[in-house]
Structure 1
Amino acid sequence: MCPMKSVKIIGGGLTGILAAFEAHRLGARRISIHERFDRLGGISLSDERNGLEIREGCIYFGGADDPLRRLLETQGQRFVEFENRFGSVSPGEDGLVYTEDFGGPALPADSFQVTPPAGDSLADRIAAYPSEIAWPLMRYARWHLGFDLEEAHGDAAIPMAINRVVPLGVDFAALAEAKHNDPLTNELLAIPRRQWGRTANLVCSLPEGGFPAMLRNCEQRLAALGVSIHPESLVPPRQALAAMSDDEVLVWAGNPTPLFKAMGVPTPKLLPKSFATYTFAARWSGACPFYVQNFTAEGACFRIYVYESAGQTLITAECVAEAGDADLRAEISRLLAGFEGELQLGQMLATSIKPRWIYHSIDAMQRLTQLRAALADRFGSAFVPAAWEPYAKAEKFALVNARLAAALGLATEQVAAA
């Protein structure tokens, strides 16, 4: 173990919080978190209004074997499990296609033959599908993003939920065999869970009492462990890098953009996208929590999330652009109409327009590789970059933990024994 090394964490979102808990678990005792806002949480921190938690997106934890959940449970956090229910709405030949237990597009197709992408862009990835699938995907991606798909990296398909497509009209038994035998087919195509008999992700969980309560608990637990928390602390990257000493590990859990200039790497072209979110009080007799993705490229709403807070059912509509109240209510009703449950929308409780930096450009992916190399060359394992490229929380968590253990000089067996 390496208790003598200090760990300095820049960024107090969920990544930074988990890094602090993990560093303490691995033996570090001089740990600090620097967060530019007045409290920890980052994008995981929901607003609280009149006793209700207003969520602007759908963030879940997994079942009992989820490593993020397990780490938080060691710090006293409790979770509530629920049946993971979701669906999607896609354009069909004769109207809308409502698909249960699948969160991606389900599109009419006579073939499931895919070809290797010709390049790294989102346009290249979409072109790998048969044309009858590629055209509606292209239309959706342009509607959703609003910028040139040649500039976006193919991994942008993951946060957009178009990384896998159900080809309606094909033989699912033949597709299942092809998915088993061909990695590319398995990566690009899907079969709805119920029709394939898959049991993955049947159960998910949410923090008991909601995300604000969980993050308050995290802050209290970190303080009890001796972690030094510095709110409203914006640390310039040049200052943080220049101040690194031989006995310090620096974890950069925040936005990497300021690091480019500090390390002499050209700042990449970014692809900002602002989304509008609207939260309504509601009555809904169907599954809850429940979310629906809209791939029709019509209207403004791309996702609806139904959840409960303080005994009240709430519905959040995530939109690619601002929407009028009447149009938005009609759109929510239309998108939920194909799923079991009766809906009554009540008062609109909250609105928000915020940028999200979840779609990487090809340039950004290349520059991030250069940035990592420059940091490794200068600081070795002592600089721990966040897992900026992956979208999935579990993958980010695993990568940061592995780098943190290496920075503390721990072998695999020591990490497991900690």
Structure 2
Amino acid sequence: MTKVRIIGGGLTGILAAFEAHRLGAREIVVEDALDRLGGWSLPRVSHGVELRDGEFAFGAAQDPIRRALEWHGVAFDDVDLHVGAVSPSPSGPQASWSAGPVLTAPAKTPGADQAETLNDLLRAYPRSAADPLSHYCQWRLGVWLDQIHASAAPALGLDQVRLVSAGEAAAPNVSVPARGATPRDGLNGLFSAASRALARLGVQIRLHSLVSPREAALSRAADDIVVWAADPLPLFDLTAQPRPRLIGERVASYVYRARIEAPLPLTIRNYTAEGRISALRVYESRGETLVSIECVDEVGDAELRAEALRLLGPFARRPMMLEACLLTNMRTRFACPSVEAVTRLARLEAELDHQHEGRFLVAGWESADATARISALADRLGAAMGASTAVGAVA
């Protein structure tokens, strides 16, 4: 019987194990270097509350990732996801309920779908929109935008740009939220429930397991399938290809207790390229209201509090009060791939497919859209296992 070995116990690795079992595999192993499943999505916990420094919401009822997790016992609560933006304008920053930047400019020029670089995508806009968007991207990334692949657009909010006529983008109106869901027991509860579900299915979970790409490749029997759901960079050593240069975004994260009257969960993104804060997320955990703040660089407490109050002010019913700071975290996030990285990863996958006859699968490339990534992995897993039909995402 085919053995499926999954390296990496984050959400991608967990979903790969569920899908392998659904396709008929009964000898499945998930290995991770940490002491529990969840990977880098696991939030820290302080006094019972989760200190989240990233995205934490899932889609509505038909979201394939949510459906797969619910099928295996993870409980979700349906919520309204409120999203606001602070955008640049000739008269100063403008706040609006919007998932992306709102700019005063003529209609968008067609042709952006063929963009290879972020600069190609921005050139498809009128200059009155392209210039502030370019300034914003430089503020976030600090590199030439011709180096960044166009697939970085969603990570920067550029897949949600809205162009309006002069005078239309005024103060925020009533929020029209998107439907989504949050894990009922938090992200830690989600991964605990997923671990129990894998155990019920007979999946072996090996923690504190450091696996090198060479060991994974050499130990693979003829009919075995390896799913590499961890960082793909070490895989380049298997094919003697040079590793691509990654472009990292320096992120300083802070989590505060807060008192705020506003629709929750609430996300505010700053597209003005002014100040230090790029995004704020207000959420509840165990009855506490918390504000997670992402900055383009470190910032002092007094300056951070003042800027957070200024950005959140138009979206709150009353002035917010920030209380104790519970988390300070510096990290480098690789969510915006370079053109070089995308090109070389495609070559790497092709070479691994050739060497291992389609039985060494690469997943977990951080910049990819999660749903698209899982769907593509499910299709490739089905092909490797000889499934008679292609599988769309997970069931």
Q: TM-score range by the shorter chain?
A: over 0.9
- Equivalent in the alignment of 2:11: 14
Residue 409 (str. 1) matches residue 386 (str. 2): yes
Q: Percent of pairs identical after alignment?
A: 39
- Equivalent in the alignment of 1:122: 118
Question: How far does residue 110 in structure 1 lie from its aligned partner after superposition?
Answer: 3.7
Question: How far does residue 112 in structure 1 lie from its aligned partner after superposition?
Answer: 3.3
Residue 388 (str. 1) matches residue 365 (str. 2): yes
- Equivalent in the alignment of 1:178: none
Distance 1:85 1:400, change over 3 A: same
Between the aligned partners of 1:226 and 1:118, the Cα distance in structure 2 is 45
Aligned to 2:155, the other structure's residue is in SS state coil
Q: Deviations over 1:287-306 (max 9, x none)?
A: 11010110010111100000
- Equivalent in the alignment of 2:85: 88
- Equivalent in the alignment of 1:150: 146
**Residue segments in structure 1 that go unaligned for 5+ positions in a row:** 173-193
Tell me if structure 2 keeps the 8 A contact 1:120–1:153.
Answer: yes
Distance 1:417 1:87, change over 3 A: closer
- Equivalent in the alignment of 1:25: 22
Question: How far does residue 203 in structure 1 lie from its aligned partner after superposition?
Answer: 1.1
Question: How far does residue 74 in structure 1 lie from its aligned partner after superposition?
Answer: 1.7
Match of 2:312 among 322, 336, 349: 336
Match of 1:213 among 189, 192, 201: 189
Q: Could you tell me which amino acid in structure 2 is paired with residue 363 of structure 1?
A: E
Tell me if structure 2 keeps the 8 A contact 1:117–1:124.
Answer: no
Aligned to 1:412, the other structure's residue is in SS state coil
Query: Please, what TM-score do these two structures have when normalized by structure 2?
Result: 0.93
Distance 1:390 1:409, change over 3 A: farther
Match of 2:108 among 112, 120, 133: 112
Match of 2:353 among 369, 376, 392: 376
Aligned to 1:244, the other structure's residue is in SS state coil
Tell me if structure 2 keeps the 8 A contact 1:159–1:391.
Answer: no
Alignment of 1:106-255 (within 5 A): 106-114=102-110, 116=112, 120-169=116-165, 202-255=178-231
Tell me if structure 1 keeps the 8 A contact 2:86–2:311.
Answer: yes
- Equivalent in the alignment of 2:39: 42
Tell me if structure 2 keeps the 8 A contact 1:307–1:314.
Answer: yes
- Equivalent in the alignment of 2:55: 58
Question: How far does residue 416 in structure 1 lie from its aligned partner after superposition?
Answer: 11
4+ residue stretches of structure 1 with deviation over 4 A? 114-119, 413-418
Tell me if structure 2 keeps the 8 A contact 1:36–1:234.
Answer: yes
Question: How far does residue 317 in structure 1 lie from its aligned partner after superposition?
Answer: 0.4
Tell me if structure 1 keeps the 8 A contact 2:95–2:314.
Answer: yes
Question: How far does residue 378 in structure 1 lie from its aligned partner after superposition?
Answer: 1.0
- Equivalent in the alignment of 2:297: 321
Distance 1:322 1:296, change over 3 A: same
Query: Please, what TM-score do these two structures have when normalized by structure 1?
Result: 0.88
Between the aligned partners of 1:118 and 1:66, the Cα distance in structure 2 is 27
Between the aligned partners of 2:222 and 2:360, the Cα distance in structure 1 is 11
Tell me if structure 2 keeps the 8 A contact 1:6–1:248.
Answer: yes
Q: Comparing 283-292 with 158-167, which one deviates more in the overlay?
A: 158-167
Between the aligned partners of 1:153 and 1:276, the Cα distance in structure 2 is 24
